[in-house]
């Protein structure tokens, strides 16, 4: 019998980490690497970029808001018959456990009338609206005209 008890104890020790992992909190939905490239022409929109990290279930990004710009729209740059064009989008799917990048040359934000004080402060708070009801607020770093993108932020869309 002692060997049977040892075998049960060994099985318990080997399975405990798996059982504890099953109890862990699910991966959260979050947004990071947010930045805005300010347009040199105040009559032209600025562009915003970021990465959405999907959680345990698929969602849609339904919009982005800020009180530091007159208007914000989601857009996508596409090649139509050899010609690059921008198209507004109303929702972007975010599959579970994946990343969706809004990056130069792909999906991006267009921000009209960015508040000069926010540009001076170097950040713009963005509120991301998701189909599951989540609202995530992230400060976007402001990159003035001619500045390089923040380190690690210039990757193409995933």
> What is the model's pLDDT at position 24?
66
Query: Strand 135-143 and strand 30-37: pairing?
Result: parallel
> What is the model's pLDDT at position 5?
65
> What is the model's pLDDT at position 14?
64
What are the backbone dihedrals phi and psi of residue 118, each rounded to the nearest 5 degrees, phi first? -65, -40
> What is the model's pLDDT at position 18?
61
SS3 content of the chain, % helix, strand, coil (to 5): 15, 45, 40
Please state, as a whole number, how many other Cβ atoms lie within 10 Å of the Cβ of residue 127: 15
> What is the model's pLDDT at position 91?
98
> What is the model's pLDDT at position 21?
56
Q: Which residues contact 93 (CB under 8 A, 6 or more apart)?
A: 58, 60, 100
Task: Compute the distance between CA of residue 143 and CA of residue 107 in angstroms, rounded to an integer.
Answer: 18
> What is the model's pLDDT at position 27?
82
Instruction: Tell me the whole-structure pTM to 2 decimals.
Output: 0.78
What are the backbone dihedrals phi and psi of residue 131, each rounded to the nearest 5 degrees, phi first? -65, -20
pLDDT in tens, the chain (158 residues): 556 666 656 665 566 666 555 566 778 999 999 999 999 998 999 999 999 999 999 999 999 999 999 999 999 998 888 898 999 999 999 999 999 999 999 999 999 999 999 999 999 999 999 999 999 999 999 997 666 666 655 444 33
């Amino acid at each position: 019998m002692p060997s049977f008890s040892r075998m049960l104890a060994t099985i318990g020790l080997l399975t405990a980490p798996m059982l504890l992992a099953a109890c862990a909190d699910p991966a959260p939905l979050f947004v990071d690497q947010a930045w805005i490239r300010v347009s040199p022409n105040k009559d032209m929109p600025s562009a915003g970029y970021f990465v959405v990290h999907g959680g345990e279930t698929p969602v849609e990004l339904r919009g982005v808001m800020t009180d530091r710009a007159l208007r914000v729209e989601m857009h996508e740059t596409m090649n139509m018959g050899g010609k690059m064009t921008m198209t507004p989008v109303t929702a972007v799917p975010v599959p579970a456990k994946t990343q969706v990048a809004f990056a130069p040359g792909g999906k991006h934000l267009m921000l009209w009338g960015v508040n000069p004080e926010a540009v001076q402060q170097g950040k713009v708070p963005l509120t991301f609206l998701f189909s599951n009801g989540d609202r995530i607020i992230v400060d976007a770093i402001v990159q003035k005209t001619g500045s390089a993108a923040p380190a690690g932020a210039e990757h193409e869309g995933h």
